[in-house]
Homo-oligomer: A and B are copies of this chain.
């Protein structure tokens, strides 16, 4: 492609609204432009990269035995009402009425449409298992779209769905997908981890996220420093590996803690370690109250709480409610003498000796508190967030944290959607059964941004070979010089004839502008036709290493082939 025939509007300045590198560089290098908040146009270079990622995804999906299809973005509301998500998805689901006032959702995901389709078309176990995928624009009306392509409202996604007659068959498909995803992100050149995750609003149980490691990631990954264990901290289980201190039990006492509310404040005031504190938080779970205890240096993980009670309806009780139920304000709550609400505790609490906790009287705390002697709990559970330094849940090594960008997600959905949409089949015995499902997503446009987060330097993007919009950046230093212009035109035509993917900067711009644009755009190999054109010599420069050498025109093709191999 000749630069003069395409649109690559590079910018010198960093756009004011672009906080992260991928957003800044994709805009500055002329790959994308914002059309509305969270809504982008992919300019020719951006579209090239998008198609490269799409093709990698397509190839690996097909290798994994999935068949490509294409579902519409306009989805009848009726289907979403059947699964209930019309009501629970919230404002992220964009809704539109047609001219006859019929309601539609704008595809945020396609479980409803595909399950309804399969329910109509697949009636026998003979046609199972089947895995279908599509690559398509999705719509989610994010509250705060940001970070360019990382959190947009219209974005390109690959979504796949599998249907099965047994959980073993689902496990097989799931494992194939995990393998395919790993290959996809490897081919994209990404440093990533597959981590145990929470299934959130999608329903289902087993689920992994594919996280690209990056400081700007919005998710935190807890990983072991000595094994391949990795989980979203939302989901990472905590090993019960606490020890009781060998200390004599002292007698319970009530003390004044005037105005001290947080665990840190009380710990300092009482001059007792934070890990002897018993933090007591009153939650409202499905309209009833539950007092949840954790150690003072730990944080309650509300996703674990939700999973324990199998509900999404969990919130903190208000100041008013705390006063009403336990007789004290938040900050002085505790488990002692509480009989009117359920009390549960994180496993660590059981091991506290001579601890302290709120006394259910404002500005008063108990000290020398000992679980089971001084209060009872219904259950000890794994309720807290894992922390750096904790033992790895697989028993191997110590937990470290890293930030990650979620680029893929695989779920075992089970029978949730099939149940609600009546996706049944006749088994080998002629008996009607409900299908078992999996679903598998990749944020294609987000992956593109994640690649730029990992592949850039101070001058611009440094595309990995398989993703780069073109392989070669051919630059003519002075197109008005006849020898330079003749040689570069000749090379361009040769490269095109050999189907080498090349961007030819044929513009009448100053060399400095061309070189700066070339560094910004970041193609792997730059070939510059300059002063030595009369000797048939060009300069070759590698974007990533900066390595630079002269080549005679006769050597170019073989050198390129070896560099790209």
C-alpha spacing A94/B73, complex, angstroms: 13
Instruction: Find chain B residues with CB under 8 A from A91 CB.
Output: 99
Instruction: Find chain B residues with CB under 8 A from A40 CB.
Output: 72
- Of chain B, the residue at the smallest CB distance from A141 is B99
Given contacts A65-B5, A91-B99, A94-B98, contact A71 B41 (CB under 8 A): yes
Interface residues of A in 95-143 (CB under 8 A from B): 95-96, 98-99, 102, 104, 106, 113, 117-118, 120-122, 126-127, 130-132, 134, 136-137, 139, 141, 143
Which of B6, B69, B98, B104 is in CB contact (< 8 Å) with A42? B69
Instruction: Find chain B residues with CB under 8 A from A42 CB.
Output: 69-71
A67 contacts partner chain B, Cβ-Cβ < 8 Å: yes
Interface residues of A in 137-162 (CB under 8 A from B): 137, 139, 141, 143, 153-154
User: Which of A43-51, A345-353, A404-412 forms part of the interface with chain B?
Assistant: A43-51
Given contacts A35-B113, A99-B91, contact A130 B69 (CB under 8 A): no
A422 contacts partner chain B, Cβ-Cβ < 8 Å: no
- Are the CB atoms of A69 and B41 closer together than 8 Å? yes
Most B C-beta atoms less than 10 A away, residue of A98, A126, A154: A98
Decide if the interface of chain A is mainly helix, strand, loop or mixed: mixed
A551 contacts partner chain B, Cβ-Cβ < 8 Å: no
Question: What is the CB-to-nearest-CB distance from A194 to chain B, in angstroms, rounded to a whole number?
Answer: 25
- Are the CB atoms of B47 and A70 closer together than 8 Å? yes
Instruction: Find chain B residues with CB under 8 A from A92 CB.
Output: 99
Question: What is the CB-to-nearest-CB distance from A247 to chain B, in angstroms, rounded to a whole number?
Answer: 54
Interface residues of A in 62-94 (CB under 8 A from B): 65, 67-76, 91-92, 94
- Are the CB atoms of B7 and A72 closer together than 8 Å? no
C-alpha spacing A508/B126, complex, angstroms: 9
Interface residues of A in 1-51 (CB under 8 A from B): 1, 4-7, 9, 33, 35-36, 39-44, 46-48, 50-51
Given contacts A74-B153, A106-B96, contact A7 B41 (CB under 8 A): no
Instruction: Find chain B residues with CB under 8 A from A134 CB.
Output: 47
C-alpha spacing A40/B69, complex, angstroms: 11
C-alpha spacing A72/B118, complex, angstroms: 29
Instruction: Find chain B residues with CB under 8 A from A94 CB.
Output: 96, 98
Which of B95, B113, B154 is in CB contact (< 8 Å) with A72? B154
- Are the CB atoms of A99 and B143 closer together than 8 Å? yes
C-alpha spacing A20/B48, complex, angstroms: 38
- Are the CB atoms of A67 and B7 closer together than 8 Å? yes
Which of B43, B96, B118, B122 is in CB contact (< 8 Å) with A69? B43
Question: What is the CB-to-nearest-CB distance from A479 to chain B, in angstroms, rounded to a whole number?
Answer: 12
Question: What is the CB-to-nearest-CB distance from A493 to chain B, in angstroms, rounded to a whole number?
Answer: 15
**Known interface pairs A7-B132, A44-B68, A74-B139; 14 further A-B residue pairs with C-beta atoms within 8 A, sorted by A's residue number:** A6-B67, A7-B122, A9-B122, A33-B120, A33-B121, A35-B113, A36-B74, A36-B102, A44-B67, A47-B68, A72-B137, A94-B96, A99-B143, A137-B137
